[in-house]
């Protein structure tokens, strides 16, 4: 089977590509490297089954050429920065909505299954309960709004044209290859601060919680959902099923309370107090469950950041 992975040089995409190559699939990566890195695929580049195309999902000609002989498109390419989406919503409309439209149109022409990587950010995040797929949506940023629009567009292609479509909604994902600058994830940022001897900065009082999914578990979920017939036409969450307060996460990573600093929140009004995933559907439909404990995932991430001097 031939699989096209858009955004395959990015953090999650890279692990999806690795999992596919491990399963002996032929993989074509399409990435414009706007946020991905060629180094992310360095370890995999000798694999004969991997092809890389530098290109933009907004470019219809590029899409026409990469969709040749493709069975499945795993669509991970997206602009992903919430604050940037508030400052520059046009980019988020163009890449996340228009770009997805282009993918769907090409998939419709060539009858290719589309697996969309959505996000938990589309949900109403004021809930104090674990979030399942029945939970109401309430996008609070152009990032979340554009991702939800892309999902809806994809589902409309399933209903209107019978195009096989799967919507995956991973919760906060962390692990090796995630950026550790301020655009990266909280786990990588804390680990980098620890290794560089800097304070671990917590915005607000640190009681806000996150459900942290280790990236190899996330990739396994996406690949499983891509090949499982039961997932077609479905929206499926993936998370660890446990949430942790940011102050407890900082202590788990650092263990020295005096190095943890509380700083004023830039946007306290948009802080999400609790994020917890209910992944029962993924378990029942796909037999998927996360395997990596937070301690183990932090250990692997720390080792990678140390080795690669991120
Ligand atoms: N990181 C998370 O915690 C998380 C959680 C849930 C969902 N997601 C979703 O997972 C997907 C991957 O996210 P990520 O964290 O790996 O981000 P990432 O930025 O590392 O990966 C996205 C990739 O898409 C590429 N890209 C961006 N615009 C493009 C364009 N116009 N044409 C071609 N390629 C383009 C980037 O260069 C990058 O390699 C995104 O769809 C994101 O919304 C991420």
Give 219-248 as a DSSP string: HHHHHHHHH-GGGTT-EEEE--S--EEHHH
CATH number at residue 189: 3.90.25.10
Query: Which pLDDT does position 181 carry in this prediction?
Result: 85
CATH number at residue 50: 3.40.50.720
For the Cβ of 78 lying below 6 angstroms from any atom of ligand 1, the answer is yes
168 and 277 within one domain: no
- Ligand 1 centroid, distance to 258 Cα (angstroms): 35
39 and 21 within one domain: yes
200 and 82 within one domain: no
For the Cβ of 150 lying below 6 angstroms from any atom of ligand 1, the answer is no
Quote the tokens at residue 16: 């999806």
Whether residue 68 is predicted with pLDDT greater than 80 in this model: the reply is yes
- Ligand 1 centroid, distance to 249 Cα (angstroms): 24
Going by their DSSP bridges, the two strands 2-6 and 209-210 should be labelled as unpaired
Quote the tokens at residue 137: 């949506």
Confidence of residue 309 (pLDDT cuts 50, 70, 90): confident
205 and 127 within one domain: no
Q: What angle do CA 102, 106, 111 make, to 5 degrees?
A: 145
Q: Find the domain containing 93 and state its range.
A: 2-172+212-238
Instruction: Work out the average pLDDT over 105-126.
Output: 97
| Residue 76 buriedness (CB in 10 A; 0-12 / 13-18 / 19+) | buried
168 and 31 within one domain: yes
From the candidates 25, 92, 123, 143, which is the catalytic residue?
143
Write the CA distances from 259 to 41, 244, 247, 306, integer angstroms: 35, 19, 12, 19
132 and 152 within one domain: yes
253 and 113 within one domain: no
Whether residue 48 is predicted with pLDDT greater than 80 in this model: the reply is yes
142 and 253 within one domain: no
36 and 132 within one domain: yes
Going by their DSSP bridges, the two strands 72-75 and 2-6 should be labelled as parallel
| Residue 142 buriedness (CB in 10 A; 0-12 / 13-18 / 19+) | buried
Domain count of the chain? 2
**What distance in Å separates the CA atoms of residue 195 and residue 183, rounded to the nearest whole number?**
18
284 and 216 within one domain: no
293 and 270 within one domain: yes
- pLDDT tens digits for range 238-266: 999 999 999 999 999 999 999 999 999 87
**Catalytic site includes residue 143:** yes
Q: What angle do CA 202, 146, 265 make, to 5 degrees?
A: 15
- Is residue 230 within 8 A of residue 290, CB to CB? The reply is no
């Amino acid at each position: 089977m031939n699989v096209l992975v858009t955004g395959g040089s990015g953090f999650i995409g890279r692990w999806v590509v690795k999992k596919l190559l491990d399963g002996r699939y032929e993989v074509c990566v399409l990435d414009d490297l706007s946020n991905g890195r060629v180094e992310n695929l360095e370890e995999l580049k000798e694999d004969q089954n991997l092809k890389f195309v530098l290109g933009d999902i907004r470019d219809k000609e590029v899409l026409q050429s990469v969709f040749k002989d493709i069975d499945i498109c795993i669509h991970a390419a997206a602009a992903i920065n919430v604050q940037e989406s508030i400052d520059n919503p046009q980019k988020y409309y163009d890449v996340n909505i228009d770009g997805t439209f282009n993918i769907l149109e090409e998939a419709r022409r060539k009858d290719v299954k589309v697996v969309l990587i959505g996000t938990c950010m589309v949900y109403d995040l004021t809930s104090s309960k674990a979030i399942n797929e029945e939970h109401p949506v309430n996008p609070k940023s152009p990032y979340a709004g554009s991702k939800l629009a892309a999902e809806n567009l994809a589902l409309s292609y399933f209903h209107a044209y019978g195009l096989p479509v799967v919507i995956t909604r991973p919760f906060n994902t962390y692990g090796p290859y995630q950026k550790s600058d301020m655009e990266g994830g909280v786990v990588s940022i804390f680990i980098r601060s620890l290794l560089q001897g800097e304070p671990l900065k917590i915005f607000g009082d640190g009681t806000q919680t996150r459900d942290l999914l280790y990236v190899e578990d996330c990739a396994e979920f996406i690949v499983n959902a891509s090949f499982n017939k039961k997932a077609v036409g479905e929206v499926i969450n993936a998370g660890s099923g446990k949430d942790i307060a940011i102050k407890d996460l900082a202590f788990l990573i650092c263990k020295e309370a005096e190095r943890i600093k509380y700083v004023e929140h830039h946007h306290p009004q948009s802080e999400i107090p609790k994020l917890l995933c209910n992944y029962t559907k993924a378990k029942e439909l796909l037999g998927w469950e996360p395997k990596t404990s937070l301690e183990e995932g932090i250990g692997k991430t720390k080792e990678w950041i140390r080795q690669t001097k991120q």
